[in-house]
Chains A and B, each alone.
Chain A
Amino acid sequence: QVQLVESGGGVVQPGRSLRLSCAASGFTFSSYAMHWVRQTPGEGLEWVAVISYDGTNKYYADSVKGRFTISRDNSKNTLFLQMNSLRAEDTAVYYCARDIVPVAIRPAAFDIWGQGTMVTVSS
């Protein structure tokens, strides 16, 4: 069964750090680019970051550039999001999602999504 399971969310004070994980199963993780997408409570979706299948290419939304780092461990089928200097506006449900097309990073759809993990930034 193709599945993505996020973990690592929680409540954190502004300026602190948090690391999210996304465990993949049921498919060849190392063949797909992977994304993080977030959704603020009651609001819409915002793309956060993408990493290529082999980890060599990474791209970020302007809102998180310089603060967040996406990475992956293909030997453990796991995707990560290191979030530093967190702000109140980073409060959201964070989803990991798989590119619908394997190998290359392309402007394609996301076909598999995790259940999400909630991050709350508050003092």
Chain B
Amino acid sequence: QSVLTQPPSVSGAPGQRVTISCTGSSSNIGAGYDVHWYQQLPGTAPKVLIYGNINRPSGVPDRFSGSKSGTSASLAITGLQAEDEADYYCQSYDSSLSGWVFGGGTKVTVL
């Protein structure tokens, strides 16, 4: 049972927009800690996609965007492409656990 809750899967047709939610609590996202998002392609290590809620590292397409409100955060992918098929994880910090926490991951399928 992950501290941060994500939907197990989302899907969309090429070109569509999909969103992935990440729900936390008052000891992590709600406490003001930043949310970060990672993309993990099959057989590879995670790659940071969004950091500090809304920031994209250089090289990450602007089709990916992040937002945060209250005890939740979201990752949006616009103009969905076949190469976006991957697992996506949100991450934050939890003051009750005194450690970094991840969501359970969301598998994105491009129909």
Contact = CB atoms under 8 A, between A and B. Distances in A.
Interface of A: 35, 44-47, 50, 59-62, 95, 100, 107-111, 113-116
Contact of B104 (A44, A61, A100, A113): A44
B98 A45 contact: no
Nearest to B2: A44
A47 B47 contact: no
B51 A114 contact: no
Interface stretch (B17-25, B76-84, B87-95): B87-95
Interface of B: 2, 33-34, 36, 38, 44-48, 51-52, 57, 89, 91-93, 97-105
26 contacts: A44-B102, A44-B103, A44-B105, A45-B38, A45-B46, A45-B89, A45-B91, A46-B102, A47-B99, A47-B100, A47-B101, A61-B97, A100-B51, A107-B92, A107-B93, A108-B34, A108-B51, A109-B34, A110-B46, A110-B48, A110-B91, A113-B46, A113-B47, A114-B45, A115-B44, A116-B45
A46 B2 CA distance: 9
B20 to A, nearest CB: 14
A107 B97 contact: no
B33 A107 contact: yes
B52 A109 contact: yes
Contacts of B105: 44-45
Contacts of B34: 107-109
